[in-house]
Every structure is written in structure tokens, then in C-alpha cells.
Amino acid sequence: MCLIKELPLLLPPALLALFVYFYLAGSKRKRPNLPPGGRGWPLLGETIGYLKPHSATSTGEFMVQHIRRHGKIFKSNLFGGPTIVSADAGLNRFVLQNEGRLFECSYPKSIGGILGKWSMLVLVGEMHQTMRMISLNFMSSARLRDVLLPEVERHTLMVMSSWKEGVAFSAQEEAKKFTFNLMAKNIMSMEPGDPETEQLRMEYITFMKGVVSAPVNLPGTPYWKALKSRANILRVIEKKMEQRTEGCEKRVEEDDLLGWALKQSSLSKEQILDLILSLLFAGHETSSMALALIIFFLEGCPKAVQHLREEHQDIVKKKMERGEAAGLNWEDYKQMEFSQCVINEALRLGNVVRFVHRKAIQDVSYGGYDIPRDGKSCRCSQRSIWTPNFTPSRTNSSHGGGS
């Protein structure tokens, strides 16, 4: 009885002893040596500053300030969680070279919520490979040569014919319209200029603004609007799927990605919807940005413009001498060596993809810093080998010129 009466008196010292034991045991464990950096605001962290719009030819104010303060590798709090940000070429290369072994794709839940849980951007492992193989099998070399190349030429001529002499236009907007129409045609056989295509394009513009915004799901915010647009876009894709599976279309367009996915894969309806949406996103954003960057850099490099003109005029001249049709073919494309150098140089100098998210699947050390298991690593596509001049001739010694 005495022992029972004394138990309440013994309980506090016992709990204190346990607390001290676990505290000392935890303090003996080696703490990870994280890069320098800050946390920002509660919940949002530094996400708003990181997503602040900036020129695609610059690193942005956020990165400039943080690199100046902490170096090219620093810690932050982005998209609701602690993140190690890298603008270091060595670490970026290390992360990508160890994809699947030390790191795996891991985008924030907010991005996954917009793109969908079956998007290739957020999938990892076997399912990612399955989705990827469906896309690659559809986009075979024969299709690139016989279908896509003529489509690219047709859409290019269509866009250029809409320009009026003496009337200014936005090269970036024209590039976005061109790439969206091209993707919509090859993915769902939607024709440019049709009301349905234009409506889908406008929904897609709203959708894209939300993907690169702060993940705040409140009425009126870009993220909230993007979720609404996602639902509208998926309804259009779902309608196309139903028309084909129910045989409502007399002229069934099987020679597109939607037809391929329906007939050549065992994907569910939800998986096909997310696949189509993610490919619209991936193909449109990267290609349109690359086109806009090429136009931007060429404006300040007249020698490169002259080399491009000479290369293409030479291709046309040889085709005429051989008596070939005027349309672009694969052999013509293979002769565009300097054109490829222009593309490579624009991609080297510009940010087509602002950031790539990866997660460490085991404890990793690099350059004296530790990246803990399940720690998020945000590889920024900043130009570590950046030089100020647009010089496509650096990758092709057979041509002169430069900036």
C-alpha cells in the first residue's frame, strides 16, 4: 500500500530521467552538415520570392541574392518543406547522374495536384517507365520523319502567313500559339483555329499561370484558377476519348497520341487523362520558351542571322538543282548544322526549365554538405558555364561569325 501511495511522487523524476536520457542520446548522433541558408515565412517559406517572375535570360533576384549571401548551394524552405537549392554545376550533374540510385523525382504536392498523380513529372519507378515508353513508342523515328516534320512546316507557314506587314506582334505569344497548336494536333488531332482548340488554349494559359504560382488554394488565386482550368481541360480530353471508344466519330483519328494510348496500352481512363495533360504541358512549355529565346538572341547577333539565311538558301538551291519538291524533308533537316548550333547556344544561355525537383533516397554527402534521406533537392537550371555573348559558332568550327 505504501508503494502505491508513493507512485505519484516517483512518476515526475522518472519522466525527467527518461527525457534527459533521450536528449543526451539524440545529441550524440551526428547532425547533418547542411548548407547555409534560411527558412523564410512560416508555411510559405521563401516560395513567393522564389517564384517571382524574371527574365529567362537571368537567374532572377532571388537566386542572385541567395548565391551572393550563401554560395551556389544553400538551404531554403520552398513549396511547404525544407529544400536544398543548387545552382552548382557539379552538384547538378551529380544529382542527375545518380538518378534512381541516390535520388528520385519528387515534385511538391501542389504541382502534383495540378498535373495529376499519374503525370510523368511526378511518377517514379516502373510506372514512370511505362508512361515514358508509351510516349517514345508513339514518337518513333519514322513518325518524326514522315508525320511530325511536315506538320511542323505546315504550322510554321500557317503562323507566318497570319503576320501583317508593318504590324507588331509578340514573338513569345506567337511561339506559344505555334507550339500549342502543333501539340494539340499530334496529341488529339485538334485543328488550329477551331473554336474548340482556341477554347482549350485559353484554358491552358490559365492552367500554366497556376503551375508556376504559390500553392495557395483560395478563391481568386492563380493556383485555384489553375485547378478549375485543369478540370475543364480534362473534360475536353475525356469527351474526345468517349467519342472514339463509342465510335461516334466516322473519321476516327487513330494517328495521334490519344488514339495510340487507347489502342496500344492498358492504361486506365484516369492515367490516359493525366498522360495527355502532362505531355501538353511538357511539350508546349519547353518548345515555346526555346523558340522565344532563339528569336531574342538572334536579334542581337546579325552575323548568326546571316549564317542561318545562307544555310537555308543553300539547302533550297540544292533541292531545286535536284528537281525535288519544295517541301521540307528529313535530308534537308540533317543539313541544318548551324541551325542546330543556334538552338544549342540559346538553350545554353537561357532558362527553358527553371527548376528540377529531386529527393534523396538515402543519406548523401557532396562537397562537405549532407543531403539527408528524404531531403528535397531543388536543382536549378541556372547557367553555370554562362558567358555573356551569344556565339553559336563555338559549337561549329566550320562556320565563322559570332556575336
109 in a structural domain:
no
345 in a structural domain:
no
Residue type, 20: V
Residues of the chain with pLDDT below 70 are 1-30, 247-254, 377-388, 394-403
Predicted pLDDT at 385: 41
Predicted pLDDT at 12: 57
Number of domains in the chain: 1
Predicted pLDDT at 19: 52
* 160: CATH: 1.10.630.10
Query: What phi and psi values does residue 22 have, to the nearest 5 degrees?
Result: -70, -35
161 in a structural domain:
yes
248 in a structural domain:
yes
Predicted pLDDT at 141: 84
Domain that holds residue 218: 133-286
Contact between 131 and 275 under an 8 Å Cβ cutoff? The reply is yes
Q: Which helix (H) or strand (E) holds 371?
A: strand 369-371
158 in a structural domain:
yes
292 in a structural domain:
no
Count of CB atoms situated within 10 Å of the CB of 293 = 24
pTM for the model: 0.78
241 in a structural domain:
yes
Query: What phi and psi values does residue 82 have, to the nearest 5 degrees?
Result: -65, 135
171 in a structural domain:
yes
Burial track 170-206 (b if 16+ CB lie within 10 A, e otherwise): eebebbbbbbbbbbbbbbbbbebeeeebeebbebbeb
Predicted pLDDT at 26: 47
Predicted pLDDT at 184: 92
> In terms of DSSP bridges, do strands 355-360 and 369-371 run parallel, antiparallel, or are they unpaired?
unpaired
> CB-based contacts of 185: which residues, under 8 Å, 6+ apart?
151, 155, 191, 192, 256
Summarised one tens digit per residue, pLDDT across range 209-258 is 888 777 788 899 999 999 999 999 999 999 988 888 775 554 445 678 89
Of 403, 304, 275, 360, nearest in space to 83 by CA: 360
